[in-house]
Chain A
Amino acid sequence: MCDSCGCASPVEEDTHTKTVDVNESLFAANESIAKTNREHFEKMGAVAINLISSPGSGKTTLLEHTIEAIGAEFRIGVIEGDIETERDADRIRAKGVPVVQLTTGGACHLDAAMTHKGFHRLQKEPGGDKLDLLFIENVGNLVCPTSFDLGEHYRIVLVSVPEGPDKPVKYPKAFTSSDTFLITKIDLLEHFDFPVDEAKAEALHLNPRLQIFDFSSKTGENFDAWLDYLRELVANFKK
């Protein structure tokens, strides 16, 4: 009898290894929290949008101009994700909507657990307990955020004209996992080589379901199409 555990095996044989079949995704824990987040957002009646892009594509500027344009139509709230500082939240707060800043302290993406905490903090902000539109601005990064569901209803990826048109080919997952693709800063098209139609075609090649808009938040060119799209998302959600 084995003297370690009392089993019937002879002591010479190594029978103390055990193989456990797990077959569980490493994303399972995140996905389970994401599901809870989605339920929270729906209970409040808010459409949740996860904004993903490289740093400097104009996510915060997009939000500032969106709030200015339709802030009176819809109750908008924002969860800001950055590695450091409250700067983006300060810019959004200046527009008069509830906002919380999540600082990841070095992490390259938001996950569902951080979003969960951020959402409950947002609910305690004045006006944060009842929203129609919740924007979650992810950490500027086209790679890591794509692997983490935050519980959003729509994932939107941005590329600005100065970044160049080849982002869809270089960072495919950001585009295959998104619902919508925004080409921003089109007021700079005359200064950069950015064939808009080619970029759109390459993105659609990766993900035929993508909805695509190109506009300038700054000059307002084509911005109405984006606003109408948001109106449609909210209207469909309230049905």
Chain B
Amino acid sequence: MHEISLVQGLFQQLAELARQNNMTKVVTVTMEIGPLSGVVEDSFRFGFDILSKEDELLRDAELIINSTSVIYRCTSCNTAHESGNQRPDCCTQCGDSFLIAEGGDELILQKVEME
């Protein structure tokens, strides 16, 4: 459950952003989370919901999560396979089973709407 500590870090960042912009309420928080980030979306959302209830600034904030995809690139023929979270068993072009993941490890705070 390292998601909780990541949400705590996020809330510190949001408090700082609100202070810099003289805002008192966070309305929406938009995150981008990749399937290889090591973060379970449901756990992140759970942490967000629990901790935002205790936080004046974030009490009614909505969390929007955009999922990203991963590119699995073949080490033999360089073919790129785009995938949600399922790693292809082998390359669809040459059949090689050694594929290297590119991207998909994002855990990004994209934007914050405040009032």
Contacts and interface: CB of A to CB of B under 8 A. Distances in A.
Contact of A107 (B5, B98, B100, B109): B5
Interface in B1-27: 1-2, 5-6, 9-10, 13, 17, 21, 23, 27
Question: Which label, helix, strand, loop or mixed, suits the secondary structure of the B interface?
Answer: mixed
B114 interface: yes
B75 A208 contact: yes
Interface residues of B, number: 31
A27 B101 CA distance: 19
Contact of B115 (A18, A25, A204): A18
B39 interface: yes
Contacts of A148: 2
Contacts of A14: 115
A32 interface: no
Contacts of B5: 107, 111
Interface of A: 14, 16-27, 29, 107-109, 111, 143-144, 146-148, 172-173, 176, 204-209
* Nearest 8 CB-CB pairings of A with B: A147-B38, A144-B2, A208-B98, A17-B115, A19-B113, A22-B109, A26-B107, A21-B111
